[in-house]
């Protein structure tokens, strides 16, 4: 018999159906056994009566998280027994046939709580069980719906979805790279992408004009509640546009995706602050515009911040300057002249814009430098020698000489956006298989040592850890 989902059963009154899923709870009420059966769509109440002794004895064995398949005819619950909180709360299934598909050991922690009381490492070791809890099921489904809405929106706006390589050259996104040794070219390394920044710019040079990718980015950063080694971003790049065009497109996209998952937005269009204004007003370029009432109601308060300084002082670089956001971000015409003349370096303003929501940075992007001498000058100002510039960025400089269109883009952080929408405080509540705060992967507990033969094949040898 064809299986139906529990959520479909209210439409099948008095029909015989087969449902399958996990035993959520078992309640023995005198002569009756009630089971809440959980599947991906929700929960359905099953009833076992003692008339059929064999069936009843089998039902007595059932324990939480066992996997079963049952058949019976859907009927109304007796008066007064309805549960208005459940989609199937007016009906129940008196079971006529029970098949036990699999047993389960007792889970190492309760699955019917919100899970926040359980120790992180234990939750992540058994993440496949942890994910069975309602809160995480909701978060992951909301995330999927959000990304789908964003994708649909971008396709309607004429964007092309394009994958870029995972094994690549280090991108100067400001973090440490994860390196991957090459077997074919011993002694050399790929880097996992900190973002598809250079590839998406190359795609503009390739003539695609509107690119997006739901991109995984990998950065070896210090781990925090809202920052992991890996994150997902809606990565976007457009040609023949100005700052305002990109901001307007992104605003439409963010509104659509947020409203699709039922979020309320405080102010539309999003307010815009200059970096100086934001620092004066809020003392930070990530700020929260919500009133306490709005915080309680889960409202989203988006805002743009723009006009960031191009360079910041840094003791760590040869020139004493580092970039404040992204070395590829363009400057307005006047500041570009000053840069080329080497004047007022500390006061130069970039065409960078960040999207802030409820105190978190949820996106950032900019108009890009499309002229070789300007990009060269930025790298020189950062203290790179001509040799280093050629070595690290020669490919980008060369590409700019073959008719690069004016272009710009943005990356929206999916994990952070889902965190603000759901009101979660930790990344691990919105990612399926997050790292522990100590940097171990969920369930598999990587990183692990590898066979010395594998290392030898890569031309590597492990020094004894000091
Ligand atoms: N590459 C930047 C980032 O990942 C985003 C961008 O400028 O488009 O933060």
Q: Quick one: the chain helix, strand, coil %, rounded to 5?
A: 30, 25, 40
Residue written as tokens 């002569």?
31
* Cross-strand bridge partners of residue 412: 234, 363
pLDDT (mean) for 398-408: 98
Band of pLDDT at residue 466, cut at 50, 70 and 90: low
Q: Can you name the residues that pair with 95 across neighbouring β-strands?
A: 72
Q: Which atom of ligand 1 is nearest the CA belonging to 328?
A: 7
d(CA 199, CA 457): 30
Is the model's pLDDT at 432 over the cut of 80?
yes
Q: Torsion angle of alpha carbons 350, 356, 362, 366, nearest 10°?
A: -20
Show the tokens assigned to 258.
């947020």
Lookup: tokens for 255: 């509104």
- Nearest residue (by CA) to ligand 1, atom 1, is 197
How does strand 352-357 pair with strand 321-323?
A: unpaired
Could you tell me whether strands 302-306 and 272-274 are parallel, antiparallel, or unpaired per DSSP bridges? parallel
CA separation for the pair 37, 460 (Å, rounded): 53
- What are the φ/ψ torsions at residue 91 (nearest 5 degrees)? -130, 175
Tens digits of residue pLDDT in 191-222: 999 999 999 999 999 999 999 999 999 999 99
Q: Dihedral of CA 341/347/349/352: which sign?
A: positive
**Percent of the chain predicted with pLDDT > 90:** 95
Q: Tell me which DSSP letter residue 416 carries.
A: H
* Ligand 1 within 6 A of CB of 196: no
All residues at 6 or more sequence positions from 164 whose CB lies less than 8 Å from its CB, including other chains: 193, 196, 199, 200, 203, 213, 215
Atom 4 in ligand 1: residue holding the nearest Cα: 195
Largest CA distance in the chain: 93
Quote the tokens at residue 450. Answer: 């590898």
Contact 34, 26 (CB under 8 A): yes
Task: Indicate if ligand 1 lies below 6 Å from the C-beta of 197.
Answer: yes
Say how far apart CA 361 and CA 282 lie, in whole Å: 14
**What does pTM read for this prediction?**
0.96
DSSP 310: S
Q: Ligand 1 pocket, 410 CB below 6 A? A: yes
What confidence score (pLDDT) does residue 317 get? Answer: 87
The answer, yes or no, to whether residue 149 has pLDDT greater than 70, is: yes
């Amino acid at each position: 018999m064809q299986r139906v989902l529990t959520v479909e059963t209210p439409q099948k009154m008095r029909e015989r159906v087969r449902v399958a899923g996990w035993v959520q709870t078992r309640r023995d009420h005198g002569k009756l056994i009630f089971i809440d059966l959980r599947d991906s769509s929700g929960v359905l109440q099953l009833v076992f009566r003692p008339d059929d002794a064999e069936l009843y004895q089998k039902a007595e064995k059932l324990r939480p998280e066992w996997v079963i398949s049952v058949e019976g005819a859907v009927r109304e619950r007796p008066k007064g027994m309805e549960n208005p909180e459940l989609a199937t709360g007016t009906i129940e299934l008196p079971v006529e046939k029970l098949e036990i598909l699999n047993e389960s050991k007792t889970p190492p922690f309760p699955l019917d709580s919100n899970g926040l009381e359980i120790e992180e490492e234990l939750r992540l070791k058994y993440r496949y069980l942890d994910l069975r809890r309602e809160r995480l099921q909701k978060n992951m489904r909301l995330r999927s719906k959000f990304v789908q809405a964003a994708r649909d929106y971008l396709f309607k706006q004429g964007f092309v979805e394009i994958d870029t390589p995972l094994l690549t050259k280090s991108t100067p996104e400001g973090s440490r790279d994860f390196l991957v040794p090459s077997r074919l070219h011993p002694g050399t390394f790929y880097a996992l992408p900190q973002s598809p920044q250079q590839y998406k710019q190359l795609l503009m040079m390739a003539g695609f004009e509107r690119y997006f990718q739901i991109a995984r980015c990998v950065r070896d950063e210090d781990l925090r509640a809202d920052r992991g080694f890996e994150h997902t971003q809606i990565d976007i790049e457009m040609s023949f546009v100005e700052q305002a065009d990109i901001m307007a497109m992104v605003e439409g996209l963010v509104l659509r995706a947020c409203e699709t998952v039922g979020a309320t937005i405080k102010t539309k269009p999003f307010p815009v602050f200059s970096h100086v204004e934001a620092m004066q007003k809020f003392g930070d370029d990530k700020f929260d515009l919500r009133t306490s009432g709005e915080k309680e109601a889960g409202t989203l308060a988006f805002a743009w911040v723009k006009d960031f300084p191009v360079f910041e002082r840094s003791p760590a670089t040869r020139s004493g300057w580092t970039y404040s956001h992204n070395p590829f971000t363009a400057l307005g015409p006047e500041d570009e002249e000053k840069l080329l003349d080497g004047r007022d370096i500390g006061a130069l303003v970039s065409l960078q814009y960040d999207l802030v929501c409820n105190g978190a940075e949820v996106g950032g992007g900019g108009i890009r430098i499309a002229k070789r001498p300007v990009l060269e000058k930025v790298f020189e100002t950062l203290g790179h020698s001509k040799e280093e510039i050629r070595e690290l960025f020669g490919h980008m400089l060369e590409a700019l000489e073959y008719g690069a269109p004016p272009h710009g883009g943005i990356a929206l952080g999916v994990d952070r956006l889902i965190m603000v929408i759901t009101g979660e405080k930790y990344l691990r509540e919105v990612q399926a298989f997050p790292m522990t705060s100590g940097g171990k992967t969920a369930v598999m507990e990587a990183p692990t040592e590898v066979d010395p033969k594998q290392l030898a094949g890569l031309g590597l040898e492990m020094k004894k850890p000091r």
